[in-house]
Amino acid sequence: MQVGAFSIPGCPGWRWRLVDYSGEMVEESRETFPTIGSAVADGKERLVRIDIVDRSKPLPSYRPTLHLHGR
């Protein structure tokens, strides 16, 4: 799993988000943090505490172009 941080325009502060390797959100912080670094650090601590094994399959980094083959 990965920890990401995001900020909403017009709202002060940063929040963390835990995302599995298929891109699905697992959990999101309710509290805000003054910096992106503090949000990510808290998210990493939460990831260790929940101790979930990510069994998701990563999405392919390419998109098939089957629609172009008939041209």
Quickly state the pLDDT bin for 47 (edges 50, 70, 90): very high
Quickly state the pLDDT bin for 68 (edges 50, 70, 90): low
User: Can you tell me the mean pLDDT for 35-43?
Assistant: 97
Report the Cα 46 to chain-centroid distance in Å: 13
68 DSSP assignment: G
Give CA–CA dist 70/10, Å, rounded.
Answer: 47
